[in-house]
Structure 1
């Protein structure tokens, strides 16, 4: 979008927050870059230039605006609606892969050479993987500086910097303030203006717990999003408590516990980590699970073009697709949920957790385990599973392929290729493959025409309700069919559509 100068100028002049994260505005006279909704008086059009990423702005010598804090805007929805090399690379960089594994590790996960990855990222984003990861490290550092009392040396290490000097130089270059000055300013100058919510609450650290605000593009309807997570919650791993969805997180350097509470203009996030180096990944996974980088204007606008869907969209706009913090976990749970009720699926998952999950301590008392990893499940005796024999075979084949790496479900996955790999496994029909594509892989166009709830909703609305006919009609909803599924599911009185009082 950043190449459409006229459209970008209009968005900046109207302070349109819907475009935050889509592009960044750099002001050539001040050498500052902003989000489109920056509350200051817009510069003259001839003084604006536009970039696709914060990293590209920084590469060009621009500093982040101290007023609108462009580094804390919602992520670009572009990376969650595509499965090409650049989009998959950006999802991996968002997960901190470059910091943990380097550019060679990033390229290896994608199946390309480092030169190919560098070339394509520079061509589309104006910056290579190191610069993109550096911009993210700066954002993580700012978050820790402003929301914790950690010593600066600990923050530098946790944010992924190799040295204190690099940390200090980067913070000064990106924000035009020293780390100490950033901390001193933290309670002041929070963003203002429509939808420009501050990324954090006033600094709060208690027992290693961070309190953050996760921004999103309005509107966001939390009913089906949180309702689905709560209704399918696995005891010991997930719970709904005091208005918050809480769950355990398995992370590269340790584990965490997160509590997520919906608010009209942000998601409140309380995050406790055993190792602060996992902060970037934990935030990225929580945002992905709640689909917070979606563009509801684009999604709802297209679905409204169907006169039979339009009333559903108008009644409750901004529905998101509930996803997952762990793709392998969701795939296992999808198999456990084949042809059984939601309650039965939870029971099967809870048994696996109790028998094979790693115990964790929860100061609030409700969470007890991490969901077992594929390598832990691959070692179990299938005869101990209270499942039909065919489903045992399906589950064991899945976890063995996940454990040995022959099947990878993650941000780097090519959606169509992964569908094909899943289809080859015994017991994987279209419904299981598509629900994994929708909720684990994050494909916004995943579709479940054979789902009983979808067929029932389609019939009630006057839509075709046989799988073939409904698929043909749904072609007009592409590439947002996964969102259409959420609107169709919402016509039912199932608990997945309601947040408990």
Structure 2
């Protein structure tokens, strides 16, 4: 059974108040400050005058502050922050549930659907979320809808009705009431005097990321592995197709490269969606791709005294672990990448897409197909796949398990349970299971000691590759970031076995 930590234990008032007094941006999104005398809640770095200690309380989520009767500060916009890095580090039931709530699972499947994905009853999940985050699943989903709606109001020219349904509200009236309650403003007040008609299905949003942020390295990683038709990349941008709950879409990302720490930068995401109800899901999945909720200062501090990783971190501050928008896709690509080069795996993936990918209704900018879904690949005969027969059987068995729900890669289940289920499939070994955990599950503490790229990197740094696993024990709980720094210590075209 999941254990919960009382709010008063996790949010020490004295420590929180010190962060507020110093306006420490590292804590934005980790907790929120509610001020009794004004009735508002703020992010820790709010530039307003620091309130007296006796007038503040601290909340682990925006939903908790809203449930206590506070409205969002109009000056610091406390809900427009990266999410808490604790959700990925600890990966408790509450953290996994928050990822699914952000993906819109409550809007699509209700609280019972959310609870089933996390593996608890709805009542027990409600108790866990209330204990850890100060609000139940409905309140957390409502806060997420309000935040999405505010961003769409302020950054797009979508009509209010389109925004209401894109954000996940069931009616325009519910949308209006929630915006007034949370922000003490009407949608018209938030938008100001801007107006106009939208480009149908096109939404441009700014996605907050903590700095430093090594955007150039992340783009290079993605560009090297880009599958023609599914992905495209250029100087400062990356684009790809999206398979979403209500339809397909595309996204084009302009990613910041920011070396200064302790503030918020923004990636610009332009979505073209068949169904605007997919805005929340598309946004959350792109945030996973960008590793937007990582705390790079905490990662750097953990490696500061390490003689091997420390210099690499200082050379590339803010390096991220590239996530993915579709766990099923990255699982297939991990199998395709077994024992072959990056270029070879990309070639095989391109053939798979050309033969079995679903064409987009409106291709643009070189994006023409969705990656084949698990059910489509599971129905194939191994003899028809452009790979050794044994690997083809492993791929089809994996896709069958993904298609029937035996294995879920949506960040809902426990990571250890997912790894055991993957290893139970013949042909899926530790490298493949751990690579899937690294990129599909956002696991911050994964290391691949047998990876050829890691062995080459260690040899190039005058370390014995045979000691890789032993060395990595010193890098917990951030071994995934050590993994990326070692890969990046090589030239990008010499990674022979990681996709």
Give the TM-score taking structure 1 as reference length.
Answer: 0.92
The 1:494/1:125 distance shift into structure 2, 3 A limit, reads same
Question: What is residue 284 of structure 1 aligned with on the other side?
Answer: 284
> Residue 26 of structure 2 corresponds to which residue in structure 1?
18
Q: Give 1:80 deviation, angstroms.
A: 1.4
- Matches of 1:454 and 1:148, distance apart in 2: 44
Post-superposition shift, 1:205?
4.5
Deviation string 1:287-340 (CA, Å, 9 cap, x unpaired) is: 001101000111111122212221111111111101110001000001011111
Cα distance, 1:413 vs structure 2: 2.4
Q: State the secondary structure of the residue aligned to 2:131.
A: helix
Kept in 2: contact 1:230–1:496 (CA 8 A): no
Give the aligned partner of residue 133 of structure 1. 141
Aligned to 1:392: 392
Determine if contact 1:445/1:478 at 8 Å carries over to the other structure: yes
> Contact 1:227–1:496 (CA<8 Å) still a contact in 2?
no
Give yes or no for the alignment of 1:470 onto 2:478.
no
* 1:100 matched to 2:108: yes
Q: Is the Cα–Cα contact under 8 Å of residues 147 and 204 in structure 1 kept in the other structure?
A: no
Q: What is the total number of aligned residue pairs between the two structures?
A: 480
The equivalent residue for 2:441 is 441
Inter-partner Cα distance in structure 2 for 1:345 and 1:204:
43
Q: Is the alpha carbon distance of 1:185 and 1:115 closer, same or farther for their aligned partners in structure 2, counting shifts above 3 Å?
A: farther
Give 2:457's aligned residue.
457
- C-alpha displacement of 1:496: 8.4
1:100, CA displacement in angstroms? Answer: 0.5
Contact 1:336 1:349 in 2 (8 A): yes
Indicate the SS of the match to 1:479.
Answer: coil
* Residue of structure 2 in register with 1:194 after alignment: none
Task: Measure, in 1, the Cα distance between the counterparts of 2:405 and 2:221.
Answer: 29
Q: What is the deviation of 1:341?
A: 1.0
**Does structure 1 residue 417 correspond to structure 2 residue 417?**
yes
Distance 2:241 2:452 in 1: 31
Mapped contact 1:224–1:486 kept (Cα < 8 A): no
SS of equivalent residue, structure 2 residue 359: coil
4+ residue stretches of structure 1 with deviation over 6 A? none
User: How far is the alpha carbon of 1:206 from its aligned partner?
Assistant: 3.4
Report the CA distance between 1:22 and its aligned residue: 0.6
Indicate whether 1:240 and 2:233 are aligned.
yes
Shift of 1:347: 1.0
Partner of 2:318, secondary structure, is: coil
TM-score normalized by the length of structure 2: 0.93
Query: Counterparts of 1:241 and 1:456 in 2: how far apart (Å)?
Result: 28
Deviation, structure 1 residue 137: 0.8
Pairing partner for 1:5 from 13, 16, 19? 13
Between stretches 19-28 and 144-153, larger displacement belongs to 144-153
**Matches of 1:22 and 1:357, distance apart in 2:** 40
Alignment root-mean-square deviation, CA: 1.8
Residue in 2 that maps onto 1:368: 368
2:105 matched to 1:112?
no
Structure 2 spans left out of the alignment, 5+ residues:
1-8, 259-264
Structure 1: give runs of 5+ residues left out of the alignment.
Answer: 188-202
Deviates more, 1:78-87 or 1:454-463: 454-463
Q: Deviations over 1:377-429 (max 9, x none)?
A: 11223222121111111111111111111122111021111111111111112
Alignment of structure 1 residues 57-206 onto 2, 5 Å: 57-184=65-192, 205-206=198-199
Between the aligned partners of 2:456 and 2:172, the Cα distance in structure 1 is 59
